[in-house]
Structure 1
């Protein structure tokens, strides 16, 4: 199997990167103050939580396509 055929078969992996994109653009979902975590409103810690999650997803897509 050629490299192009393998990567074409796994092109659905790119869709995983849409998860953080949609999760952060859907503002009514996290536009709240509660629940607070360590004094930070939900609005802030939800966004900060997505930084390592997005990094992990990018790594998984990279490893899946490589």
Structure 2
């Protein structure tokens, strides 16, 4: 019986750093304007990263598979 081989390091994994970098740089999005549907920039910028991060994880999973 063989054991499954681990994937190892793949350069596409660096894409997963994008959400961390984008959300840790607080002075960039610490502002109220522009509003989108009544939400200040501070909130919708963070909200947009939730589905975007899920999409990035999916892409990395499919490419590194």
Coarse TM-score class (shorter-chain normalised): 0.7 to 0.9
User: For residues 17 and 53 of structure 2, what CA distance do their matches in structure 1 show?
Assistant: 10
Quote the offset at 1:27 in angstroms.
0.2
Partner SS for 1:52: helix
Q: TM-score, length-normalised on structure 1?
A: 0.84
Q: Which has the higher helix share?
A: 1
- Structure 1: gaps spanning 5 or more residues: none
Question: Number of residue pairs matched?
Answer: 60
The list of structure 1 runs, each at least 4 consecutive aligned residues, that deviate by more than 3 angstroms after superposition, is: none
Measure how far apart 1:53 and its partner are.
Answer: 0.4
Report the TM-score, using the length of structure 2 for normalisation: 0.86
Taking the TM superposition and a 5 Å limit, the aligned residue runs for 1:1-66 are 7=7, 11-66=10-65
